[in-house]
Amino acid sequence: MAIHKAKFDKEEFKKAVVGNCKSLYRKTLDEASQQQRFQSVAYAVKDLIMDKWIATHKQYDKEDPKVVYYMSMEFLMGRALGNNMINLMQYKEIKKALEELDLDINEIEDQEPDPALGNGGLGRLAACFLDSLATLEYPSYGCGIRYRYGMFKQEIKDGYQIETPDDWLRDGYPFEIKRAEYRYEVKFGGYVKVVKDEKTGRDNFVQEDYRSVIAVPYDLPILGYGNNTVNSLRIWDAEPVVKFNLNSFDKGDYQKAIEEENLAKNLVEVLYPNDNHYAGKELRLKQQYFFVSASVQRAVDRYKNMHNGDVSKLYEKVTFQLNDTHPTVTVAELMRILMDENGLDWDQAWDITSKTVAYTNHTIMAEALEKWPIELFSRLLPRIYQIVEEINRRFVEKIKAKYPGDQEKIRKMAIIYDGQVKMAHLAICAGYSVNGVAKLHTEILKKQELKDFYEMMPEKFNNKTNGITQRRFLLHGNPLLAEWITDKIGDGWITDLKQIDKLSLYVDDKKAQQEFMNIKYKNKVRLAEYIKKYNGIDVDPNSIFDVQVKRLHEYKRQLLNILHVMYLYNKIKTDPTFDMEPRTFIFGAKAAAGYRIAKQTIKLINNVANVINNDASISGKIKVVFIENYRVSNGEMIFAAADVSEQISTASKEASGTGNMKFMLNGAITLGTMDGANVEIVQEVGEENAVIFGLSSDEVIKYENEGGYDPMEIFNEDQDVREVLMELINGKYSDNDPEEFRDIYNSLLNFQDGRRADIYFILKDFKSYAKAQEEIDKRYKDKAGWAKSVMLNTAKSGKFSSDRTIEEYVKDIWKLEKVHVEM
Ligand code: 26V
């Protein structure tokens, strides 16, 4: 790829910063607050982007290429300033310019709130994909919601998680642009009236007595690295209709006006902070239809403008990728627009729709499956429901034709069944592609979760193993290592991560090992300083940094990790001959606000930390740290500083994982189960450079099919495990209230609330995990061996670039052509 580096006029840039500060705040830089300085710098950087942004869209209008619309309820973007500087290839130049203005780039970057319009893996994947699409010069839009409040901020008080609102727009977000000219009306509720068209004899369907909102888009620039491509992330805000149409007041329909005002206000107020848990909330369905309707209306309009109003070949230029089932109403909304607004008949509309929509599955967790009650769905979206009903009717006919007399197939596959609308079934039935996000995950979909669908339409199924962008998670997050790598093998890895394999040549080189470990040490010092500042805990950068950062969920098994810490602590206390490398166990995780066991687990980690960190008798052999408010920005620093990457989900439950890839890229050893993309990580780096433990996914699934296993056996037989479990309820870690962790204890040992004990096999895997941890200890003692191993992890991470993932989506699903933007 031809890398394009634009000229940078330092004096111009400095002038712009000073000028921005004046015009935005009527202040000189020295008077301005840090936030105002950040804004002044960010606007100057935005200026460097605008010409490219304009040029890119001129080029798209001219060439009329096929476009992918990445439809997602979540985009976990992380900070933009540093990333934009990186992708402009002007990080160092801008840093220098700021120094001359007496501004420290790190302090300035720290002023930016993380736009956190996402929960975890699924939202961050969307953000990595946008980075790769722009870098690879593929025309694309991200389509989502401009939540007023993103993912909550987490504070830890007395060991408990406290959620506070993330008011990310408070000071204004410098990179967004309001596109008031692309407003669309989105209708909810009312009823559908059938009106006969006198001339054609056709039935027209008209929604009446509805409430509506106006969707207004804001665009965020998505810069390609080292090229002129600037794509857009389009996030929709909701405004009340009355703002531009006082009609309802004129008619005296005051009530309706108020309702519409409220509808608009509530609609985009907040991101649902659940990860992997479906709750069936009406507002959530409203959010889904809101952004889908606006995005599809815009996409069809844009297409029609470029094709003389003829929609019949839409699929040639447009593809909608559904990021999980959340935007699945896309299917019915597109049908509605094609039929009701463009006069196509059902078959024409279906032909187009089913060539235009594709679906990605991100979880097999049953509790995440979206199933809307018919009552709710049809009341909120009456016309959309009619269309879904007809899709279902025809689909059931097809099932019957294929499996005559097989009621069971209908029960398992119908889109509407048992009073519910099943979004995954709709997405699979209508989509031309269905993909999982790691090899193992896709296999499980085909063999278990979606078996019937796979049997009926195997051609739709494919795998796209996830990836991450090395621009953010190495080049920006780990500048020391990035520079070192570039010194050794050149900078080709930045846009072609496979090249990082060239580092393999250095893994036995003593000097290179030393340099690599020295950088790791510096990154650990940087994290230690952060921990000191925010947690007040001293950690030793010479200890092993053993890290588990990800959303808190039982299947991810943070509990296994902390139970093992408790076990180790007992060992140190009771066995004077026990020797281990000093270890710092680092956790970071947000729990969904209503998820009790998850919140208790956070409290447990903090209480264990309190006891262990304050026990002088173990002379700092173990430290436990819970990093508050884990998010993209501190994540970048955490990945860079890790020695051990904890990827310990119950096998079969983690669809892919992407944190695992970020750690690997930054030179950490995976301590994990054979789950998700861990399987492929091990395949790339070799078994001897990872530490694997626990049940396989086949074993887990087998146990599940047999109705589980009996954890009491382990409790009775294993003294160490029993001791740790008793400590959950004897007050050792909960002075004030010995009952504090009763739910956790029960979840491991007792059948309750209709749920078996230990459904995530924590006790079953405990022994094997403890052995794996010993193996880590042993390997770390061999300094050269360890250095070689972590270097190999970095060297073999090439496959896990989201650039590779995107190229696969393009080739197998989207069929896009690159558009090169000349300037
Ligand atoms: C599901 C739901 C259910 C309804 C309520 C709100 C809500 C919000 C998010 C989700 C998504 C859960 C699925 C998810 O995040 N999957 C993760 O996707 C990653 C990217 O493919 C993957 O690496 C993780 O393994 C997978 O857990």
For ligand 1, atom 16, name the residue with the nearest CA: 362
**Token pair 């007050």 in the structure block, residue:** 731
**Residue 87 has which token pair?**
């992708």
What residue ranges do the domains of the chain occupy? Answer: 64-79+114-464, 526-797
Coil, helix or strand at residue 749? helix
Judge whether 643 and 780 are in contact, CB under 8 Å: yes
**Token pair 């090439």 in the structure block, residue:** 798
Ligand 1 center to residue 275 CA distance, Å? Answer: 6
Q: Is the shortest distance between the CB of 466 and ligand 1 below 6 Å?
A: yes
Coil, helix or strand at residue 815? coil
Q: Is pLDDT above 60 for 808?
A: yes
Q: For residues 610 and 625, give the distance between their C-alpha atoms in angstroms, rounded to a whole number.
A: 9
Ligand 1 center to residue 276 CA distance, Å? Answer: 5
Question: Which of 298, 551, 590, 799 does the annotation list as catalytic?
Answer: 551
Q: Mark whether 362 is an active-site residue.
A: yes
Question: Which of 319, 495, 650, 658 does the annotation list as catalytic?
Answer: 658
Q: For residues 452 and 410, give the distance between their C-alpha atoms in angstroms, rounded to a whole number.
A: 10
User: Which residue of 276, 371, 556, 652 sits with most ligand 1 atoms within 8 Å of its CB, as the best mutation to test the pocket?
Assistant: 276
Name beta bridge partners: 143: 71, 234
Q: Is the shortest distance between the CB of 653 and ligand 1 below 6 Å?
A: no
Ligand 1 center to residue 361 CA distance, Å? Answer: 9
For residue 161, the surrounding DSSP H or E stretch is strand 160-164
Judge whether 757 and 751 are in contact, CB under 8 Å: yes
**Residue 26 has which token pair?**
């009527």
Ligand 1 center to residue 72 CA distance, Å? Answer: 11
Ligand 1 center to residue 362 CA distance, Å? Answer: 6
Please give the pLDDT value at position 251.
60
The amino acid present at 745, given as its one-letter code, is Y
If phi > 0 it is left, if psi is from -120 to 50 it is alpha, else beta; for residue 159 that is left
**Token pair 């805000």 in the structure block, residue:** 237
CA angle 38, 44, 45 (to 5 degrees): 90
Question: Which of 662, 732, 788, 799 does the annotation list as catalytic?
Answer: 662
If phi > 0 it is left, if psi is from -120 to 50 it is alpha, else beta; for residue 209 that is left
Q: Is the shortest distance between the CB of 120 and ligand 1 below 6 Å?
A: yes
Q: Is the shortest distance between the CB of 112 and ligand 1 below 6 Å?
A: no
Q: Is pLDDT above 80 for 433?
A: yes
Closest CA to 518 of 541, 538, 494: 541
- Per residue in 452-507, pLDDT tens? 999 999 999 999 999 999 999 999 999 999 999 999 999 999 999 999 999 999 99
10 Å Cβ neighbour count for 574? Answer: 9
Which burial class, exposed, middle or buried, applies to 123 when counting CB atoms under 10 A from its CB (0-12, 13-18, 19+)? buried
**DSSP 3-state percent helix, strand, coil across the chain (nearest 5):** 50, 15, 30
- For residue 441, the ligand 1 atom closest to its alpha carbon is 25
Confirm whether pTM is higher than 0.95.
yes
- Per residue in 593-645, pLDDT tens? 999 999 999 999 999 999 999 999 998 999 999 999 999 999 999 999 999 99
User: Which residue of 362, 370, 590, 658 sits with most ligand 1 atoms within 8 Å of its CB, as the best mutation to test the pocket?
Assistant: 362
Please give the pLDDT value at position 280.
83
Q: Is the shortest distance between the CB of 125 and ligand 1 below 6 Å?
A: yes
Contacts of 815 (CB under 8 A, 6+ apart): 66, 319
Ligand 1 center to residue 216 CA distance, Å? Answer: 27
Sign of CA dihedral 74, 79, 82, 85: positive
Ligand 1 center to residue 71 CA distance, Å? Answer: 14
Q: Does domain 64-79+114-464 match CATH 3.40.50.2000? A: yes
DSSP string, 325-371: STTTTHHHHHHHIIIIIT---HHHHHHHHTTTEEEE-----GGG--E
**Binning pLDDT at 50, 70 and 90, where does residue 246 land?**
low
Closest CA to 376 of 329, 315, 432, 442: 329
Lowest mean pLDDT among 174-178, 576-580, 759-763: 576-580
Please give the pLDDT value at position 247.
58
Q: Is pLDDT above 60 for 28?
A: yes
Give the helix ranges, DSSP H, for 101-239. 105-110, 121-135
**Binning pLDDT at 50, 70 and 90, where does residue 248 land?**
low
Q: Is the shortest distance between the CB of 38 and ligand 1 below 6 Å?
A: no
Q: For residues 343 and 595, give the distance between their C-alpha atoms in angstroms, rounded to a whole number.
A: 47
**Binning pLDDT at 50, 70 and 90, where does residue 244 land?**
very low
Q: Mark whether 550 is an active-site residue.
A: yes
**Residue 562 has which token pair?**
């902390």
- Per residue in 39-68, pLDDT tens? 999 999 999 999 999 999 999 999 999 999
The class that CATH gives domain 526-797 is alpha beta
**Token pair 């073999």 in the structure block, residue:** 796
Q: For residues 364 and 697, give the distance between their C-alpha atoms in angstroms, rounded to a whole number.
A: 12
Please give the pLDDT value at position 250.
58
| Inter-axis angle of helices 10-25 and 34-63, nearest 10 | 110
Q: Mark whether 27 is an active-site residue.
A: no
User: What mean pLDDT value characterizes the chain?
Assistant: 96
